[in-house]
Amino acid sequence: MKKILSLDGGGIRGIIAGTFLTYIEKKLQELSGDENTRIADYFDFVAGTSTGGILAAMLLAPDENGRPKFTAEETLNLYLQKGYNIFNGSRRSVIARLGVVAQIRNATQYRPDYLEDLLKKYFGDMKVEELIKPCIIPAYDIRHQRAVFFRSREKKQRQYYLRDAVRSTSAGPTYFPPKAMKNLNPLEDEKENGLHEYINVDGGVFANNPLMCAYAECRKPETFPDRGGQPLSVSEMIVLSIGTGSQRLPFSNVQRSSRWGLVNWARNVPTLMMNGALDTTTYQFTSVFKAGGEENMENFIRLDVPEEIQKAQRYSSDMDDASSRNVQRLRDAGELALERAIEEQDLDGFIEKVFNN
């Protein structure tokens, strides 16, 4: 069995995914009897988009001894301790964002400097190919109008700095500016045609839930060389998909959406795009998984925040609200969602299945 972990995008709501991941890692430590056990020890493939891409990179980045550099709790602490500076503390001044000329030059709300410095500190010059386990991180290249998939099991003529891949997948339109980057080892014809130079935005514009990307990648024989060229079937997969509490979140002033102006649409379109496909992707994957036999569904679990908990906790629908008040609400929502998953979805039993397979 191959264990697959898929992590949604969602900005500061990565707190919710981090809460689930921290619990899962601690349970694996209890089962193994080893406090040094990490999620990367028990999952064979990880997919992550946007904030999920940051989480995936941290879970799989190696230290100098080839062991996971970060704990799951440290991924959570990234948002709890650094979230304000990534978002609120990096907000461009109102004056810089007002006026037609200013908006033409740069309509993004946040400066990327703090985030880029943080990624450089965490990952240095590490390449995507150095990640401990197979991984896929989606982004979208607006220069060539194509999806870009950063794979850790890549051909040698495609090499990227991990920090660039993570910055690319988290470049949410209107939030952060696109990321200009290069393939470090392109083929000559790619270099001549400029195909090795990308200008990337958030992978959430087409795969905010990267579950189907993970499935497609895991079906490729080359993803798991230990299988001797045989493709992985659904009956050989154990799949954990983690959301960020974004489904069915309310939009402001939606009753008057027929009269929204440019500013309102610009504010809401990124969230509409990134949230719109979440349920669709889960539905598609569930249909594919069931096609291999109803019993396969015992090997799939989707963790997220139930709607009633969303309403009760009233955390912001904005992916960038890292105020102390909203961070606390996200923490509370994550803890309540975790309790619900343990009670109603038998999360502990699923973790044992991951451990034993």
Cβ atoms of 45 and 214 closer than 8 Å: yes
Question: Residue 88 class from Cβ within 10 Å (0-12 exposed, 13-18 middle, 19+ buried)?
Answer: middle
Task: Establish whether 202 is a catalytic residue.
Answer: yes
Token output for 4? 């697959």
Cβ atoms of 316 and 326 closer than 8 Å: yes
CA dist list (Å): 18 to 56, 115, 289: 11, 18, 26
Reference 52, options 87, 21, 88; nearest CA is 21
Reference 304, options 25, 6, 38; nearest CA is 6
Catalytic residue among 8, 44, 141, 202: 202
Which residues, in sequence order, are bridge partners of residue 48?
Answer: 7
Catalytic residue among 6, 8, 44, 50: 50
CA dist list (Å): 323 to 12, 84, 182, 315: 10, 7, 34, 11
Which residues, in sequence order, are bridge partners of residue 138?
Answer: 149
- Dist. CA 332–CA 309, nearest whole Å: 9
* Catalytic positions, written as ranges: 50, 202
